[in-house]
Amino acid sequence: MIRDDVHGLGSGAPSIYVEYHRHSAVTLVTSIEDLSERHQFVTMHFLTHQVAQLKVLATNFLSKREGTSLPIERQLKLHM
């Protein structure tokens, strides 16, 4: 990945990973702040449903692994 920090041996350009997640965050906030109440409702419904599903997955993985110290992102294969 290309790193932004020039002093940390980066090339001075943000990584694709950072750009992707920044765009996703901007899109989510824009959707939540939309003027249409229906659009806001649908966005919040999908978001809360997704978070609930991730909590269930995280709990299941941790209980199966008996609370190992592996990062949850690795256990969920970066689906978070």
Shared domain for 56 and 80, answered yes or no, is: yes
Per-residue pLDDT of the chain in tens (80 residues, 90 and over written 9): 445 555 565 666 667 777 888 899 999 999 999 999 999 999 999 999 999 998 888 888 777 766 665 666 666 665 54
Based on the domain organization, do 22 and 46 belong to the same domain?
no
- Cα Dmax for the chain: 47
What range defines the domain where residue 5 resides?
1-33
68 and 56, same domain (yes or no): yes
Same domain for 67 and 47? yes
Q: Are residues 51 and 69 in the same domain?
A: yes
Statement to judge: residues 46 and 27 lie in one domain? no
Residues 43 and 68 placed together within one structural domain of the fold: yes
Number of domains in the chain: 2
Q: What is the pLDDT of residue 61?
A: 76
pLDDT at residue 34, as a whole number: 93
Nearest alpha carbon to residue 78 among 63, 68, 61: 61
Report residue 63 as tokens: 């209980």
Asked if 49 and 57 count as a contact pair (C-beta separation under 8 A), the reply is no
Q: What pLDDT was estimated at residue 47?
A: 94
Distances (CA, A) of 74 to 7, 18, 61: 29, 18, 11
On whether both 2 and 26 belong to a single domain, the answer is: yes
